[in-house]
Structure 1
Amino acid sequence: MDPERAKELPQSVKKFYKGEPLALGVTQILLGVLTIMFGVVLNVGYYYGYHFPYVILMTPHWTGALYIISGSLSVAAARNPKPPLVKGMLGMNVVSTVAAGYHTWDYGGLSALQHSGVLHQHLCFCLWVQGCLQ
C-alpha cells in the first residue's frame, strides 16, 4: 500500500492491515489444498482396508474446502476491505478455526485412543453415519 493512501485510511482499516490478511489468506489456501491432497491419499488407504474414522467422515475434504473458502475471503478482504467482506472473512475464520480444532482432535485424538474401546465406539458411530447417508 502506498504511503499517501495509508494516511487517509481510517484507523480500523489500518489495524486490519496490520494483521496481514493477505499472508493469512494465502497460507489458508495452501493448507486447504494440502489437506484435500492428504485426504485423497487416505482414501486410497481406505480401499485397501484401512478404515480410519476421519476418512469415513471425509474430514480432510470438508475441512480443506473450509480453509480454501476462508483463505479466499481473506485475500479478497485484503485487496478490498469493505465492511461486509471483512465481517464475512472474520466469521469464516471462526468457522475454520472450529473445523481445525475438530480436525486436530479427529487425527491426533483418535490415534491416541486406538487401543481403547472409545475408538471402537467412534468407528461404529462413523460406520452407522455412513450407512445412513447411503
Structure 2
Amino acid sequence: MEIPVDETPSRHLPVLKRMSKLGKKANNFANGVKQHVRLAPKITGTVKGKLSLGAKIIQVGGVEKIFKQLFSVKEGENLLKACQCYLSTTAGPIAGLLFISTNKVAFCSERSLKFCSPSGELIRVHYKVHDQL
C-alpha cells in the first residue's frame, strides 16, 4: 500500500529522503558504468586495461614519478591530482592519465599511437598534451 506524500507521517520522512538519496547514487553509478562500457567493446577489455595501467604505475614507483618522467617539471611544482580518463578526439576516445599540478594540466595516452612521419615511415608515440596554468 502506497502512502501519499501529503499523508506520510513525519517519522517516515527521513527514511524516504534516505531512500531517494540512495536511489540517486545507484542511478549515478549505473550511468558511470554505462559510459565506461560504451568506450570499450567489452567490459573485460576495460578491466584488463585498468589492471595493466595499475601494474605500470606500481613498476615505475607511482603516478608522481610517471608525471616527472613524461613532462618537464619546474622546481617547486607539485602534483595535486592524477586520474585515469578518456580524452575525446575527432578520431575517438583515447585512454590515458590526466595530471593536475600546481603549474599545469597534462594528459598522456596509456598506449602509444601509430603516426606516419613526414618521411613516410610508421612511428609509435604517446599522445601528450599539456597547458600551463
TMscore range, shorter length: under 0.3
TM-score, structure 2 normalization: 0.26
Q: Which has the higher contact order (CA 8 A, sep 6+)?
A: 1
| Structure of higher CA gyration radius | 2
TM-score, structure 1 normalization: 0.26
In terms of fraction of residues, the more strand-rich structure is: 2
